[in-house]
């Protein structure tokens, strides 16, 4: 009798998991309480996967031997609670797909900030070097779909804490932890240590043949390392700008404008002034990418060439255009305070800052000094801006309380003058006015194009 797999969620993670399960001979059923995007429905139909949308048929789901849960569905969802009451194992797409990847290896990147840029940079280095590589996890294609449909020798995966929570036997061949700062605490009982332990799962199950790359400058990471030190088996490869480090296995250290990354007998030296991605946060990203790809056996010359050739990731300090000496910058992916810290740190001109959205329990204290020195006007864009207005009154001289996208954009345009930067860096989730941060960023770029650049 066929084993039964139920997949919760019909997004990029869910449809890929369902197709892989179907290909591997499971009795597969996908269920989504919302609407499934047409492109995913088409692929499910193509593979003959049974699915439903707009409801959860509990009888069918609770008859499964195992459930693959999409990362966006919280553990507190009623259907998940019922699944767990029945004692049915609940895993992530990452855990499931890894069972069938064969000899392929994984480079897995997590962290509160910088993971998308670092993942994209690692993928570019691997692809430029001629490796057969997929890009998946939080970005790119579904890991499970890549495993189901193509043969890769490397999978570069951006992993959120939610995806790691559903991993048990999964092992990263090369694990990268960028940093740990407060984020998504609403999913972790508002306890930073719970969230931090989820991030540390990136190093779980690693052996002495594997590599663990982390920031030696990040205080919370250092605390967590002390907690799990006796369990870590992988080679440790730290990177740092502010900390004196030395590791026998390898490390990356910045001196002046240059950093050298070393793994074993191989090293690469990067002049950060030649990088297209700017700001100290991107130095960290490039260091991590250099260590990861050295550990994967990529030639240092290839690493250097690809790092210098790499341009900014969409929605992460992405230039949206300049007109009348006013720069417009799309940093819609900055959905937490720490991301905004990096954005404001990199601002070199007076800044009109657009922020706001769904607050995740933010503490704005870390960015107040930058706001005081660099922000000439704050444009709040959200359904409820009371907290932002309260936190920055007396710190930023001009504050606009705007409740629609159009109102906020007009206010930002009116405040900006020659020599300024208009920065969309929300510090909040997007769900009050937008479907996701991508929609928010694309609407920002489209508005700038139509109302600024073409005027």
* pTM as predicted: 0.76
What pLDDT, on a 0 to 100 scale, did the predictor assign at position 358? 84
Residue 183 has pLDDT above 60, yes or no: no
Residue 190 has pLDDT above 70, yes or no: no
Residue 2 has pLDDT above 70, yes or no: yes
pLDDT category of residue 191 using cuts at 50, 70 and 90: low
What pLDDT, on a 0 to 100 scale, did the predictor assign at position 179? 86
Domain harbouring 257, CATH code: 3.40.1190.10
Domain that holds residue 45: 4-91
> What average pLDDT score do residues 144-160 get?
95
Do 284 and 241 meet the contact criterion of CB atoms below 8 Å apart?
yes
pLDDT per residue as tens digits for the range 48-89: 999 999 999 999 999 999 999 988 788 889 999 999 999 999
pLDDT category of residue 220 using cuts at 50, 70 and 90: confident
Same domain, 197 and 173: yes
Number of domains in the chain: 3
Farthest-apart Cα atoms in the chain, separation: 71
Q: Strand 266-271 relative to strand 258-263: parallel, antiparallel, unpaired?
A: antiparallel
Same domain, 262 and 157: yes
pLDDT per residue as tens digits for the range 331-350: 998 888 878 887 887 788 99
Do 261 and 290 meet the contact criterion of CB atoms below 8 Å apart?
yes
Same domain, 47 and 164: no
Distance, in Å, from the CA atom of 322 to the CA atom of 326, rounded to the nearest integer, reads 5
What pLDDT, on a 0 to 100 scale, did the predictor assign at position 192? 67
Do 321 and 448 meet the contact criterion of CB atoms below 8 Å apart?
yes
Residue 184 has pLDDT above 70, yes or no: no
DSSP state of 36: P
Same domain, 49 and 99: no
pLDDT per residue as tens digits for the range 429-440: 888 889 899 999
Same domain, 303 and 166: yes
pLDDT per residue as tens digits for the range 228-272: 777 788 999 999 998 778 778 899 999 999 999 999 999 999 999
For 124, list phi and psi in degrees, rounded to 5.
Answer: -65, -45
Same domain, 146 and 200: yes
Residue 312 has pLDDT above 80, yes or no: no
Distance, in Å, from the CA atom of 72 to the CA atom of 30, rounded to the nearest integer, reads 15
Average pLDDT, the chain: 91
Whole-angstrom CA distances from 55 to 10, 33, 229 are 12, 5, 45
User: Which residues, 6+ apart, have CB-to-CB distance to 317 below 8 Å?
Assistant: 277, 278, 279, 329, 330, 331, 343, 346
Residue 282 has pLDDT above 70, yes or no: yes
Question: What is the per-residue burial (b if ≥16 Cβ within 10 Å, else e) of 37-69?
Answer: eeebbebbeebebebbeeebeeeebbebebbbb
């Amino acid at each position: 009798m066929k084993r039964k797999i139920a997949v919760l969620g019909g997004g990029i993670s869910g449809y890929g998991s369902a197709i892989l399960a179907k290909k591997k001979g499971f009795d597969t059923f996908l269920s989504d309480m919302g609407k499934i995007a047409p492109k995913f429905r088409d692929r499910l139909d193509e593979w003959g996967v049974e699915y439903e949308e707009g409801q959860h048929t509990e009888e069918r789901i609770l008859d499964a031997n195992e459930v693959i849960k999409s990362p966006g569905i919280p553990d507190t969802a009623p259907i998940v609670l019922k699944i767990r009451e029945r004692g049915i194992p609940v895993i992530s797409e990452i855990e499931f797909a890894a069972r069938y990847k064969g000899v392929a290896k994984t480079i897995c990147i997590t962290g509160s900030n910088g993971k998308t840029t670092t993942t994209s940079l690692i993928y570019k280095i691997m692809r430029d070097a001629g490796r057969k590589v997929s890009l998946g996890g939080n970005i790119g294609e579904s890991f499970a779909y890549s495993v189901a449909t193509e043969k890769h020798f490397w999978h570069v995966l951006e992993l959120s804490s939610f995806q790691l929570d559903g991993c048990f036997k999964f092992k990263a061949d090369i694990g990268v932890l960028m940093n740990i700062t407060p984020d998504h605490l609403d999913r972790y009982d508002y306890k930073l240590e719970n969230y931090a332990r989820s991030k540390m799962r990136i190093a779980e199950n690693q052996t002495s043949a594997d590599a663990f790359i982390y920031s030696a400058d990040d205080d919370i990471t250092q605390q967590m390392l002390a907690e799990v030190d006796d369990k870590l088996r992988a080679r440790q490869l730290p990177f740092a700008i502010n900390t004196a480090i030395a590791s026998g296995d390898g490390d990356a250290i910045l001196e002046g404008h240059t950093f050298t990354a070393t793994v074993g007998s191989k090293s690469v030296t990067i002049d950060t002034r030649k990088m297209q991605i700017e700001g100290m946060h991107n130095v960290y990203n490039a260091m991590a990418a250099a260590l990861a790809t050295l550990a994967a056996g990529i030639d240092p010359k290839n690493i250097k060439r690809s790092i210098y050739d790499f341009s900014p990731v969409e929605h992460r300090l992405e230039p949206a255009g300049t007109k009348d000496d006013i720069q417009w910058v799309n940093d819609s992916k900055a959905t937490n305070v720490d991301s905004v810290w990096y954005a404001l740190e990199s601002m070199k001109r007076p800044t009109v800052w657009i922020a706001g959205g769904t607050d995740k329990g933010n503490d704005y204290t870390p960015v107040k000094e930058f706001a005081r020195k660099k922000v000439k006007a704050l444009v709040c864009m959200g359904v409820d801006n009371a907290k932002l207005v309260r936190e920055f009154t007396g710190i930023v001289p001009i504050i606009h309380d705007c409740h629609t996208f159009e109102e906020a954009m007009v206010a930002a345009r009116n405040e900006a003058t020659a020599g300024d930067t208009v920065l969309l860096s929300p510090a909040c989730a997007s769900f009050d006015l937008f479907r996701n941060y991508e929609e928010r960023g694309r609407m920002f770029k489209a508005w700038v194009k139509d109302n600024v650049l073409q005027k």
